[in-house]
Structure formats: C-alpha cells, structure tokens
Structure 1
C-alpha cells in the first residue's frame, strides 16, 4: 500500500481550512464534535484559557453512539486525563469533554473572558451533530451566526462540515463554516516495513493503523453523490461534495491493496 495514497486521502478528508486557531480573528462560534482523538479538545481548551475572546461560544457536541467506548478507552490511556476514567463511563461524549474541561482546565476563566460553553449531548452521527448543535445555538440566542469553526476527528472533517451546511440550508444567508481538524494524520513506512504515523501530536496515541485505514476508506463512499452515498442523489444527508479524481484514484488503489492484504 502506498503511503502517498493514504496521505492524499487523509489530507482531503481533514479539509484543513484552518490549522491554527491561536492567531485567527475571533469567530461567533466553535463547535467541537467529541471523538477518541482527545488532542483536539486539549488543544482547544488550552487555547480558550489563554484567549477566551477567540469565540463568543463553544458547543461541546456528542451523545452516546457506536464509537463512545473508544472515547472512554482514550481517556483511560491518556497521560493527563486518566484519573477521571472511572467516572465517565455511561456519560454522553459531550459530557466527557465537559468533565475534562471542568477537571483539568479553568472553565470559569473562559466564561469570565466572554465565551459561553454550550452542551449538545444527544447526537449520534454527523447529521445530528449539526442539526442538534443548531438547535442548542438557536435556543441560546445564537441565531444569526456569521462565522463558525468546526472541529472534528480528521477522518470525518469534510463530511461534518457538509452536514453543518445541510443543517443551515434553509437560511437565506448561511453561516461561513470553517473546518479545523487541528492536525492532519500522515503515515510513513517504518524501517521494518510497517505503517506508522509521522510526527504524532505531543506523543499522543492515534488510531491503530488498520483502524485508521478502515476509517478513511469507508469515508470516501459516504461522500459520493451517487445512489449509495450521502449526497443528494443518495441518502440526502449532505449537500453535493466534489470528489477530486486523484482522491478517487488513490481510494481505488488503496482499497484494493488493503483488501488484498487481509
């Protein structure tokens, strides 16, 4: 399997419109969709402590779904957050993020700096992340957003941003949604021929390589606008997404190589 193909698909799915929030102008809203990649929440919470004015509000988003156990495991294995591992089982993913925020960061300093923390703890998929985040924002008085940064697991970033566009498609002037994966997962071949990650963020654990490949390979068919995809000609969960030819070609090569190796 070609690491060039893996990295091409991973970067496309990460949709890195904004790589660093620390120097960006202030925005109306940041939505972080909870996942097992805790580095993103750690990055965001540290930034909010230092610069709460970066956003008027932050939505912690995520219910209990098929991947929630991965998040519990990630907390248990985290060098900083593991002390709360026994306390979070059964909690929705957004409440896990809230527990991390309250235990390891200064939430009151963030609030005193003018940033409201909102909780959306019912969603179980990308589409619901978007529609229920909008509901929480509307109920909190944030009904006229102009700019909204979305943080999500990099393997799902592009689809998540499309879901937010879908959730606001009835508005005459939709907010500008800016994707911020925080980091872009990239792989290389080790000296013994195994796949490994390049430059792990702060030494944090990411997905096992096979799990990562399954995620990125499964994501491309969802983005397609055909009878089996999530676009308007398929399930209608997201607006049309343009898949570049080089991404489709890389997916074809990678999927055949991955299946052949199993």
Structure 2
C-alpha cells in the first residue's frame, strides 16, 4: 500500500478508536464484565451513515439509556446537506444535529432514543451538556459507550475523562471504521461520508488537538482533555500529510462560551 494511504489509515485508526470488536452484550461481557453499559451516547458530529451504528446499538441492547447529543456546530451544515440528499422525503428540523439524527433513526429504523441534547456547539460542551442532561433526568452511570464521528472519537473520550472517575469505563465505539486504498479512495461506501480531503483535514486537525503541548487541548495546552500520548510515528505521518492536505482549524463561531 502507498505511504500516503498507510499514513491516512494510521491516523484514522488512532482517532477512530473502537474498544469492542462489535456492539453486543457478549463483547461487553468479555471486555468489561458487564452486559449493558448504563449510557450509550451518540454524537451529532458524525456523518449521516453513523446512524446505522446507533440503530445497531439499540437493537443489540448494549445500554440501558440512549442519548443523541448535538446542537449546531462546525459539522451541522454538512449534516443537513447530506440528510436532505439521502432522505429527500423527510422535512428535517434543522435546529440541532440531535433532532436531525432522531428523525432519521425513526424514519429508517423505527427506533427512538431516550433523550436529546440540542444546545451544544463543540466537543467540550457536548460532554458537559450530556452530563448535565443525565443528572437532570436522574440517570446515574458507572459505564458509558461513546459513539462519535471516527475523526473525533478519541478526543470525545478524552474530554469525558476529565469529568468521570478513572474506575468508570469510558468505552469507545466510533460511528464508522473506514480505510483508503492505494488510489486514496475509500474502500467501502458510507452514506454522507466526507470527501477524502475533508476526512484527512479533520484527522490532521484532531492530531494537533490531541498532542499535549502548548497549542494542543491537553493539560499542557488548553486543558480541555486529559493527556493523550500521540506516538512519534503518527506525528511524523501527520507532518508528511500536511504537505499534501489542509488541516482543519477551529471555528470561533462554535467555541465554548
């Protein structure tokens, strides 16, 4: 496989973490000695195709409570465009990502979640608003499964880790897993998938945020997330990819207040 493809796939696997081989009670029991997590949180930053993973989670009964989290942030305009293209018969409520995904979940799968969080604008208040919503509904938890767009999955978990005890399992299950081939084409089609340039731009932006230095989001920088150790090989790969691809910058419109 080409060097660029290997580098993209390495970043994608690092950022798009999945701590389970599949969403099932058997997998949870084998990995965490539980049959259900207390909460499964699906985040609206995902591509439209990620809703299939949410539906899978609900049908597999991997959690006691299901929440969709997401107001209006940097991915929302793309989500609305994809949703309208893929589901032309639906009249979307475009006030929040959570409501859009809830409509698709109901229309395509006949399923519903327990709660919607509709005010958050970024990964940081995705987490704080989720925790406030659970507290307001008296939902205590000792385990959570987080499901976000594969580009942002690891940072979402690192943000949650600032607020929960180390003994609480925070289980990653990225909304999709994707690879590119030697032609830098995705090896499997996914509904609403980012263009390659956008996907790599998002990954490069994430790696900068995950790097615990003065410009990153870790304790040595903005202190939005817990420390993440980024392997040197990934830093090298990112530096080389930045010669070919742009890097997503933070959008100040959606910064935390």
Structures share a fold, TM > 0.5?
A: yes
Query: Deviation of residue 55 (structure 1)?
Result: 1.1
Residue 209 of structure 1: CA displacement? 1.0
Q: Report how far residue 69 of structure 1 moved.
A: 0.8
Aligned equivalent of 2:123, options 122, 126, 135: 126
Contact 1:72 1:88 in 2 (8 A): no
Instruction: State the alpha-carbon separation in 2 of the partners of residues 210 and 135 from structure 1.
Output: 35
Give the match for residue 218 of structure 1: 205
Q: 2:185 aligns with which of 196, 199, 207?
A: 196
CA displacement, residues 208-236 of structure 1 (integer Å, 9 cap, x when unaligned):
11111111111111111111110111111
1:67 aligns to 2:81 (yes or no) = no
Cα deviations by residue, 1:113-161 (Å, 9 ceiling, x for unpaired): xxx6111111111111111101111111122x12110000000000000
Q: Secondary structure at the match of 2:193?
A: coil
Question: Which residue is equivalent to 2:13?
Answer: 11
Name the counterpart of 1:227: 214
Query: Could you state the TM-score of these two structures normalised by the residue count of structure 2?
Result: 0.85
TM-superposed deviation, 1:46: 4.3
Counterpart-to-counterpart distance in 2, 1:179 and 1:60: 15
Q: Is the 8 A contact 1:151 1:179 kept in 2?
A: yes
- Matched residue, 1:87: 92
Post-superposition shift, 1:258?
3.0
Q: Which residue of 2 aligns with 1:184?
A: 177
Partner of 1:113: none
8 A Cα contact 1:165 1:174, kept in partner = no
Question: Secondary structure, in 3 states, of the residue corresponding to 2:23?
Answer: coil
How many residues align structurally?
Answer: 236
Q: Name whichever structure is richer in helix by fraction.
A: 1
Distance 2:36 2:46 in 1: 27
Q: 1:36 to 1:225 in 2, by over 3 A?
A: closer
> What stretches of structure 2 of length at least 5 have no aligned partner?
28-34, 247-257
Which residue does the alignment assign to 2:22? 20
Give the counterpart of 2:158 among 162, 167, 188. Answer: 162
Answer whether contact 2:49 2:193 (CA < 8 A) is retained. Answer: no
Contact 2:48 2:193 survives alignment (8 Å) = no
Normalised to the residue count of structure 1, the TM-score between the two structures is 0.83
